[in-house]
Amino acid sequence: MSGKTFGQAVVDVPSTSDGAGMWRLARDSRTLDLNSSYSYLLWCRDFAGTSAVVKIDGEVIGFVTGYLRPNQPDTLVIWQITVADEHRGRGFATALLDSLVRRTGARHLEATVTSDNDSSIAMFRALAARWGAGLTGNQLFSADQFPDDHAAEFLFRIGPFVPVNAPS
Ligand SMILES: CC(C)(COP(=O)(O)OP(=O)(O)OC[C@H]1O[C@@H](n2cnc3c(N)ncnc32)[C@H](O)[C@@H]1OP(=O)(O)O)[C@@H](O)C(=O)NCCC(=O)NCCS
C-alpha cells in the first residue's frame, strides 16, 4: 500500500478501480450532485494527481476530487468531497484535504458551497484555520444561472498555504 495510514484507514491516490466506489459514495451522500458513473472513472484516469481516496480494508469510504485551474495553476479547485455517513466526524475529510494540499503543493484552494451546507462550510473554515491561511467568500453562480432548481454556489478561496504552517 503506497498511501498514508490513519488508524485502519489509508489515504491514497485514486485509480480507475476506485471510480465505481466513488460514484456510489456521491450517490449515497444525498448532498452532492451525482455525475455520471463514467465521469468518476475518467476523473480517476486523468485527474488522479489532484484527487484522493480514503479506504478501509480496500473499500473506498471517502474521496476528494479536484483540479488545478488552467489559468491559475497554483490554485487547487475542489470539485467534490464526501465521506460515508458512518465514518463522518472522525477526521477523514481533514486527512483527505490536508494530504491533497501537501501532494499538489498548491498555494491556494477554491471550493464552492451552498449556504445550507453547514458541515461543508465548517470543514473549509477549519482547513483555513489549520493551515493559518486566509479565507474569502463570494457568490460564484447565482441560482438563476442554473437551468434547474440548483441553489446559488458561494466560492471560498483559501490561502496562501505556507509549508512551514502545515498541520502535523
Ligand atoms: C462535509 C464532509 C465531507 C465532512 O467529512 P468528515 O470526515 O465528517 O469531516 P471531518 O471529521 O474531517 O471534520 C472536518 C471539519 O469539518 C467540520 N465538520 C464536519 N462535520 C460537521 C458537522 N456535521 N457540523 C459542523 N461541523 C462539521 C468540523 O469543524 C471539522 O473541523 P474540526 O476538526 O476543527 O472540528 C461530510 O459531512 C460529507 O460527506 N458531507 C456530504 C457531502 C458534502 O456536503 N460535501 C461537501 C460539498 S462542498
Give the confidence band of 143 by pLDDT, cuts at 50, 70, 90. Answer: very high
Residue 116 carries which side chain, given as an amino acid letter? D
* CA 141 to ligand 1 center in whole angstroms: 23
Domains by residue range for the chain, with CATH: 4-165 (3.40.630.30)
Decide: 16 in ligand 1 pocket, CB within 6 A: no
> C-alpha grid cell for residue 41?
472513472
Decide: 63 in ligand 1 pocket, CB within 6 A: no
Compute the average pLDDT of residues 135-140: 98
Strands 72-83 and 59-69: antiparallel
* CA 127 to ligand 1 center in whole angstroms: 10
Give the confidence band of 163 by pLDDT, cuts at 50, 70, 90. Answer: confident
Q: For ligand 1, what atom is nearest to the CA of residue 97?
A: 12
pLDDT for the residue numbered 1:
42
Q: Which has more confidence, 7 or 45?
A: 45
- Atom 16 in ligand 1: residue holding the nearest Cα: 123
CB 153, CB 113: distance < 8 Å: yes
Decide: 166 in ligand 1 pocket, CB within 6 A: no
64-90, pLDDT tens digit by residue? 999 999 999 999 999 999 999 999 999
CB 54, CB 6: distance < 8 Å: yes
CB 132, CB 166: distance < 8 Å: no
- Atom 23 in ligand 1: residue holding the nearest Cα: 119
* CA 7 to ligand 1 center in whole angstroms: 19
Decide: 3 in ligand 1 pocket, CB within 6 A: no
Report the percentage of the chain scoring pLDDT > 70: 99
Going along the chain, which residue ranges are E strands?
A: 4-6, 9-12, 52-56, 59-69, 72-83, 108-113, 134-141, 153-159
Q: ∠ CA(82), CA(84), CA(86), 5° rounding?
A: 140
pLDDT for the residue numbered 2:
60
17-55, pLDDT tens digit by residue? 999 999 999 999 999 999 999 999 999 999 999 999 999
Decide: 82 in ligand 1 pocket, CB within 6 A: yes
Residue 5 has pLDDT above 90, yes or no: no
